[in-house]
Structure 1
Amino acid sequence: MSDVSFAPPAREEHPDAYTVSAEFYDILQADQDRARVRRFYGRDVRLARRGVLDVGAGTGRVTLMSLAESRVPVHAVEPARSMRSLLMTRLAALAVDVRARVTVHPGSLDEAALHEVADVGVCHNTIACLHPAARRALWPAVADALVPGGVFLVQLPPDRVPRDEVTYLLPAQKVGRHEYAARMVMSADGDRIRTRFDYWVRGESGLLREYTETFRMWPASRAEVIGELLGSGFVPRPGRADPAVLAVRLRRH
């Protein structure tokens, strides 16, 4: 289960999304996700010559890796205000010359209206929550943001609704005298996946706080996502061994 993404996968459109999860997002999965994004996307990001596009940037795991591994401009697209606030705080701690290479776009990629700004695009831990119609609407905007021949890397959603309820425990993390922990519970909800995150904080005297936040996810098979991307001019790129990531290339005109 090393590649299960425990961080909430949704990218809600309203500004108050992740009101609960934002506090716990990084402390509970930072080390695991840092290694994951470097393994999934680092090689392609290092080869970028025009720019890197981070669709659904969240708190900035892919964005910061891209700034460290490349010397090109980075475009981080994140509609959720709570996550974007954490991203901006991280960027504020960077050197001025590094920070000058990243542009943060609030709202959707379509609203950002980016045209041929990058030769590498990444969509990490994002599309699972998108309604199929919204997912299909994303691909033309990605194609417009990439240069012809650009590479697009997508972390795939679950390919099916779980038959039974599945629970994952996130390793507890100490912050001073407090311990932060969570569990993720996935279950079927018709043709969707109901994903509930239970968070709690313990101190020396016991339980201090606890919260719950629920997201909906839509499964899609690799073949289904490939078929959608073909309609926007992408073709599968051979040579990627990791089943969690789909790599495609935008056809040259």
Structure 2
Amino acid sequence: MYSVISRAPARRPPPDDYAVTAEFYDVLQAEQDEALVRELYGRDAADACVGVLDIGAGTGRVTMMCLGESRVDVHAVEPSRAMRAPLMTRLAALPRAPRERVTVHPRSLEETALHEVADVAICHNTIACLAPEERRALWPAVARALVPGGSLVFQLPPARVPDSDTVRVFPLQTVGQHVYGGHMAMSAVGDRIRTRCHYWVRGSEGLLSRHTETFWMWPAARADLLSDLAGHGFAPLPLRRDPAVLAVTLVRPGPRF
């Protein structure tokens, strides 16, 4: 399943996007996501020799895992101000040594102009949330940011829109005297997937607040992604144990423009 770190349709998100989800993400989803990113990408981070690039860092679960598993510099790319706020707070609480190894880039990867800073790039829970034109613009930026022979590993988007509506209920979480909960509903709308998140907070007196935020995802087949990536110098690596993850390597330098 996909937790919600996403893009509004056909436009780059403004700096204060995700204001609702940013408040609830760490409480409702991040504990499960923390275990998942370690399982999916922990070995990649541990094997990094040059640097690690975290594309779509969100509140920092991949970033924190990379700092713990590696001894190289980490570049966390997150254009959303709302999502960067908990990321920066999390990094500020670290000891000086790991904190000095991480740089947070407050723009999209295409706008950061990073050049050969990493041999491992990780993109968790993000590709599905990019419109096709944004996704195609990402690949040359990744190729520029990686050294030749570097690898990109990312969570695949759904291959197609769902046949029926699905609902994922978030496990209830208690913080002090309040209980947090909600659910995520996904449905097909043309060639896109509408993801609508509902959050609520309850106290002893009943419902305290209720919030809704809608995001979009774009399906893409593995074969189509590999074809696009091949045009920027990437070749597939062996299949991962989890089929929802795709790994590729930069076999030749990507375009330098």
Question: What interval of TM-score do these two structures reach, taking the shorter chain for normalisation?
Answer: over 0.9
Tell whether the 8 Å contact from 2:50 to 2:72 is kept in structure 1 after alignment.
Answer: yes
Instruction: Give the drift of 1:6.
Output: 2.4
Structure 1: segments with no counterpart, 5+ residues: none
Tell whether the 8 Å contact from 2:3 to 2:125 is kept in structure 1 after alignment.
Answer: no
Residue 15 of structure 2 is aligned to residue 9 of structure 1: no
TM-score (norm 1): 0.96
Partner of 1:172: 172
2:18 aligned partner, one-letter code: Y
Partner of 2:199: 199
Over the matched positions of the two proteins, sequence identity in percent amounts to 63
Tell whether the 8 Å contact from 2:153 to 2:248 is kept in structure 1 after alignment.
Answer: yes
Partner of 1:229: 229
Name the SS for the 2:147 alignment partner.
Answer: strand
Per mean C-alpha deviation after superposition, the further-off stretch among 219-228 and 142-151 is: 219-228
* Matches of 1:43 and 1:239, distance apart in 2: 14
Name the SS for the 2:141 alignment partner.
Answer: helix
Name the SS for the 2:110 alignment partner.
Answer: helix
- Correspondences of 1:84-123 after superposition (within 5 Å): 84-123=84-123
Instruction: Give the drift of 1:5.
Output: 2.4
* Matches of 1:90 and 1:197, distance apart in 2: 24
Partner of 2:75: 75
1:9 aligned partner, one-letter code: S
* Matches of 2:18 and 2:239, distance apart in 1: 36
Q: How many residues align?
A: 250
Partner of 2:156: 156
Instruction: Give the drift of 1:178.
Output: 0.5
Per mean C-alpha deviation after superposition, the further-off stretch among 109-118 and 237-246 is: 237-246
* Matches of 1:164 and 1:87, distance apart in 2: 35
TM-score (norm 2): 0.95
1:140 aligned partner, one-letter code: P
Structure 2: segments with no counterpart, 5+ residues: none
- Correspondences of 1:178-217 after superposition (within 5 Å): 178-217=178-217
Instruction: Give the drift of 1:239.
Output: 4.2
Residue by residue over 1:118-138, the C-alpha shift from the partner in whole angstroms, topping out at 9 and shown as x without a partner, is 000000111111110110110
Name the SS for the 1:157 alignment partner.
Answer: coil
Instruction: Give the drift of 1:216.
Output: 1.0
Partner of 1:46: 46
1:173 aligned partner, one-letter code: Q
Partner of 1:242: 242
Partner of 1:125: 125
* Matches of 2:60 and 2:156, distance apart in 1: 19
1:6 aligned partner, one-letter code: S
Partner of 1:56: 56
Partner of 1:18: 18
2:143 aligned partner, one-letter code: A
Tell whether the 8 Å contact from 1:180 to 1:202 is kept in structure 2 after alignment.
Answer: yes
* Matches of 2:118 and 2:211, distance apart in 1: 39
Name the SS for the 1:40 alignment partner.
Answer: helix
Tell whether the 8 Å contact from 1:194 to 1:217 is kept in structure 2 after alignment.
Answer: yes
